[in-house]
Chains A and B, each alone.
Chain A
Amino acid sequence: MTALQVIFILVAAATLGAALMTVIVGNMIHAALWLIVSLFGIAVVYVLLNAGFLAVAQVVIYIGAIAILVIFAIMLTRSVAVDQGTQINSNWGWGAVLALALFGALVWVLSSWPGINTGAQALPVGQDTVLQLGEALLAPNQYLLVFEVASVLLLAALIGSIMIARVRKES
């Protein structure tokens, strides 16, 4: 086992453990903080994959924006952010069965895929991956349409939130 694999297993275990804690803990703020640990673990996985841009974007978007938003939302809720009741409801058995079935199906699909045992290609040395990503996002024969549609969607969400938050002038 190489050092990289050891690091990956440690990071993956931490990420999964933090994700588990997110759904287990009763205190909502603690759940949000565990979620941040889990998201940070994913950023570290990106770093291990040599995807520096994705890692930094993960931290900026998920920790800097979404997690902060989640914490704000929790603070604005009525209760003291502590859930007194039990964490599971009566359907937990079915949920567990479904989750296990999904996990089994994913393992089966991935193990029957021929590419599972081939290592990833080494990145070509001396090329700016960020530059390539940017060009791919804006090239008409690649992802330009998706990129523009996503930006229109975000703009619509922005306008929608302004419309909801706007104080209507009483006539």
Chain B
Amino acid sequence: MDPIVLLANWFEGVLVGWGAPPWAVNLILSVLGIALLCTVMLLIAIWCVWVERKVVARFQDRLGPNRIGPYGLFQPFTDIIKLLIKEDIEPKGIDKVPYNIAPILALATVLTLWAIIPLSPQVLGSDINVGVLFIVAIGAISTLGIIMAGWSCNNKFALLGALREVATMISYEVPMVIALMIPVILASSMGINKIVESQSPLPYIFVIPLAAVIFLICSQAELGRAPFDLSEAESEIVAGYHIEYSGMKFGMFYAGELLHAFTVGAIFSSLFLGGWSGPFVDRVPVLGVFYLFIKSLFIYWVIMWIKYTLPRLRIDHMLSFNWKFLTPLSLALLMVVAVLHKLLQNANPWVYILGMLVGNIAVGAIALAISRRQVKVERKEFQTNRSVARPPESSPTAPIPDSGGD
């Protein structure tokens, strides 16, 4: 028996024993569950600060925080105390209400995502049948928070940063939604728990690896992390949409960003790595929480690995990568997977997995071959007119020609 479920059942019994009506019992249990989950997640966010700083230090050949506590473990607490006692500055000319709602939205949307992630077979907030779409909807609301932050603080740099971030998010949402459709096709359900359960012989990463890669890339863009961190540019627009925030309001953006990365890890592991499933989960269900966290942390580490290894992309490169490569690729993959699913539906599961794998690899290889050819053409174009100092032949006010090469 799951200790969390056991505890909930015991508490329910106590409440009923006190003579509480069933709806009140339900309400109290739900509120307690929400409070518990949010608290645990916020504590994880605090710990994520330490993990992030330690990992980036290792990638950059430094030690990272190492003064306060063993291995610098208490560093995040001092950071929080610093954020809490900082002056809460409200710049002139701000739009007060959106300015104050934006950091709440930034953190609350991330916490809301945990409502549908199954922690173990029985412990999950809400097993809605549109779970995958729910993730997309919450992403839409977090976009709104960024726009509000950028617009309300009356700073041009913040607005520019917000517009860049939102442009990234709404364009990378397209291939992300299509990539999310692929596990939905395989599991024949949009509920996250059903998707986790249907990854029985092998997790989906071995069945549809290309969809997993597309989802990871798009999540990286959705998180606004390098190589897609265009909203952050130290020399031109500083830190993007949250320049004007100080103290704990900035802290909420920061915590939301870190927790979002961990949450994306959890979503990725639920959709592609089998979520809570692992050895002995059927006998000891609470192990599922442990497996999910291990997998999420691994994906979180992969996200950090990409972030601290790759340089920042230029905005036109980033957008053309999305619209000219990822979107057509994900559409083609969706069609191939849908057809293969119908063809192999009644076949032996291993034949099904092999067929899907071959289909994915073929689509990926064809896409890479096409883009390699395109790159050769583009490279030739750039090699021919190298001279930088030559004045443009057209009028000086002519727009800069698009280097996308279409």
Chain A contacts to B: CB under 8 angstroms: 3, 27, 29-30, 33, 36, 52-53, 56-57, 59-60, 63-65, 67-68, 71-72, 75, 128-130, 167
Q: How far is A106 from B130 in the complex, measured between Cα atoms in Å? A: 34
Q: How far is A75 from B130 in the complex, measured between Cα atoms in Å? A: 33
Shortest distance from the beta carbon of B168 to any chain A beta carbon, whole Å: 13
Shortest distance from the beta carbon of B89 to any chain A beta carbon, whole Å: 22
Q: How many A-B residue pairs have CB under 8 A?
A: 62
Q: How far is A72 from B164 in the complex, measured between Cα atoms in Å? A: 12
Shortest distance from the beta carbon of B188 to any chain A beta carbon, whole Å: 8
User: Chain B residues near A167 (CB, 8 Å)?
Assistant: 399
Q: Which of B36-44, B144-152, B212-220, B337-345 contacts A (4 or more CB under 8 A)?
A: B144-152
Shortest distance from the beta carbon of A40 to any chain B beta carbon, whole Å: 9
Indicate whether A63 sits within 8 Å of B130 (C-beta atoms), given known contacts A29-B151, A128-B189: no
B224 at the interface (CB under 8 A from A): no
Contact A36 B130 (CB under 8 A): no
Contact A60 B136 (CB under 8 A): yes
Selected from B23, B129, B139, B190, the residue in CB contact (under 8 A) with A64 is B139
| Size class of the contact patch on chain B | 20 to 34
Indicate whether A130 sits within 8 Å of B130 (C-beta atoms), given known contacts A33-B98, A64-B139, A68-B166: yes
Q: What are 13 A-B pairs at a CB distance below 8 A?
A: A30-B95, A33-B148, A52-B128, A56-B134, A59-B141, A60-B133, A60-B136, A64-B136, A67-B144, A68-B143, A68-B147, A75-B151, A130-B130
Indicate whether A68 sits within 8 Å of B170 (C-beta atoms), given known contacts A53-B130, A59-B140: yes
Selected from A3, A29, A52, A64, the residue in CB contact (under 8 A) with B143 is A64
User: Chain B residues near A57 (CB, 8 Å)?
Assistant: 133
Shortest distance from the beta carbon of A52 to any chain B beta carbon, whole Å: 5
Q: How far is A71 from B95 in the complex, measured between Cα atoms in Å? A: 15
User: Chain A residues near B159 (CB, 8 Å)?
Assistant: 75
Contact B129 A130 (CB under 8 A): yes
